[in-house]
Amino acid sequence: MKKKKELFYDWNRKLVNHQKIEFHDETLRDGLQASYVRNPTIDQKVVLLRLMEDLKIHSANIGFPGAGARHKEDVVALAKIKRENRLNIKLTCASRTYIEDIIPIIEASQSSGVAIEAGIFLGSSEIRRLVEKWSLKEMGKMVRDSVSFAVKNNLPVMFVTEDTTRAHPSTLRYLYNIAIDKGAKRICIADTVGYATPKSTENIVRFFVEKIVKDSEVNLDWHAHRDRNLEIANCLTAIEAGVNRIHGTALGVGERSGNVPIDLLLVNLRVEGIVKNNLTTLPEYVRYASVVLGVPVPVNYPVIGDEAYTTGSGIHAAAQLKAEELGRDDLVARVYSGVDPRIVGRMPEVEVGSMSGKANVILKLRQMKIKPTRNLVKKILETAKASNNILSNEEIRAVLTRVKTK
pLDDT score of 102: 98
The SS3 of residue 134 is coil
The residue ranges of every structural domain in the chain are 22-293, 310-405
256 pLDDT higher than 80: yes
The amino acid present at 360, given as its one-letter code, is N
What pLDDT score does 285 carry?
A: 98
Residue 14 has pLDDT above 80, yes or no: no
DSSP structure class, residue 278: -
Coil, strand or helix at 392:
coil
Tell whether the model's pLDDT for residue 255 goes beyond 80: yes
Indicate whether 17 pLDDT > 80: no
Asked if residue 281 lies in contact with residue 268, where contact means CB atoms within 8 angstroms, the answer is no
Residue 242 has pLDDT above 60, yes or no: yes
Residue 188: per-residue pLDDT: 98
Task: Tell me the pLDDT band of 3, cut-offs 50, 70 and 90.
Answer: low
Is residue 406 classed exposed, middle or buried when 0-12, 13-18 and 19+ CB atoms within 10 A define those classes?
Answer: exposed
What's the CA gap between 309 and 324, in Å, rounded?
A: 15
Report pLDDT for 2: 58
With 0-12 / 13-18 / 19 or more C-beta atoms within 10 angstroms meaning exposed / middle / buried, residue 32 is buried
* Mean of pLDDT over the chain: 94
Domain 22-293: what homologous superfamily? Aldolase class I (3.20.20.70)
| DSSP-derived secondary structure letter, 391 | P
* CA distance linking residue 170 with residue 211, whole number of Å: 10
Nearest C-alpha neighbor of 359 from the set 340, 342, 372, 370: 372
Q: Which of 232, 251, 248, 247 is nearest to 293 (CA)?
A: 251
Does the pLDDT of residue 153 top 70, yes or no?
A: yes
pTM of the predicted model as reported, rounded to 2 decimal places: 0.92
- Cα separation of 149 and 100, whole Å? 11
Instruction: Please give the average per-residue pLDDT across 233-238, as a whole number.
Output: 96
Q: pLDDT value at position 19?
A: 75
Chain Cα centroid distance, residue 370: 38
Closest CA to 200 of 173, 227, 167: 167
Cα gap 142→136, rounded to integer Å? 10
Q: Is residue 74 within 8 Å of residue 42, measured between CB atoms?
A: yes
Cα 102 from Cα 180, distance rounded (Å):
18
pLDDT at 1: 54
pLDDT (mean) for 172-200: 97
Give the percent of the chain with pLDDT over 70: 98
Segment 80-137, tens digit of pLDDT: 999 999 999 999 999 999 999 999 999 999 999 999 999 999 999 999 999 999 999 9
pLDDT value, residue 406: 66
- 4 pLDDT more than 90: no
Distance CA 323, CA 335 (A): 8
